[in-house]
Amino acid sequence: MSQHARIEREAQRLLGVHAGGAPVPALHEEGELELADAYAVQRRVFGELHGSSPAGYKVSLVAPEHRAAFGASEPTCGRLGESQLVPSGRTIAMSSLFHPLVEPELVFRVRRDLSPNASADEVRESCDVMAGMEIPDSRWRGWSPVPGQTVGDLVADASFAGRVVHAEVGVPAASLDLSAVVGELRHDGVVIGTGRGDAVMGDPVLAVAWLSGMVARGGEILRAGVLVASGTFFYPPSAEPGTYTASYTGIGHASVTFA
């Protein structure tokens, strides 16, 4: 099978799941795709579902141990459509996802277009930061995640993009030392985890700077208005019915209810 045919086949399998089908076997079960080809699958699926311009992005594998688990040498990213961005306080039906997790993450809103390969200082001066959570999900069968899953599996499936919950008001990213921000996650009022911003590549700003360089490889930039979920503060729990609230020192909180 040619490279192009393999990319199209995997994209069509994922599109079938998005259209209401059951999860399908992951790529590594039939021979892993090269990373560049996995990103090509991601772009093909996103374009079919949402058009060419992402409303947001997510950064994954921001901790060394998470990269090691997938055999990755750097973080990965996924594209998000407008329908995947959920304002704080909303309810998500459990039936709309397969195996959602809850990741406490800071969400950046780009105020003005970032340069390709933007520096950390440019990110700080050009973005606001809001309280948020990412809700990863996967279209691969048996994901929990499962042993043997590879970075190609992750990337082709939009780095397991599901939903991103975000507050609607933020603060300038330059106004705080985001590496020292403490995040706390509660489920129905009970604390289930805490972490610090330095768990995200040492500073969440660095995750956005990395992303600007990553998308620049494909001729993209992070444009004004785009949201970026910058990476989890700690290993995420599986979502269960009830209300999750993520709070961050100096920034605020965001909540979502699973029903």
| Phi, psi for residue 54 in degrees, rounded to 5 | -65, 145
Rounded CA separation 210/247 (Å): 25
Superfamily of domain 3-258: Fumarylacetoacetase-like, C-terminal domain (3.90.850.10)
Encode the chain (259 residues) as per-residue pLDDT tens digits: 788 899 999 999 999 999 999 999 888 777 778 999 999 999 999 999 998 799 999 999 999 999 998 889 999 999 999 999 999 999 999 999 999 999 999 999 999 999 999 999 999 999 999 999 999 999 998 776 555 788 999 999 999 999 999 999 999 999 999 999 999 999 999 999 999 999 999 999 999 999 999 999 999 999 999 999 999 999 999 999 999 999 999 999 999 999 9
Domain ranges of the chain: 3-258
Ranges of beta strands (E only) in the chain are 56-60, 76-80, 85-87, 91-92, 103-110, 127-135, 163-166, 171-172, 182-187, 190-196, 227-229, 242-248, 252-258
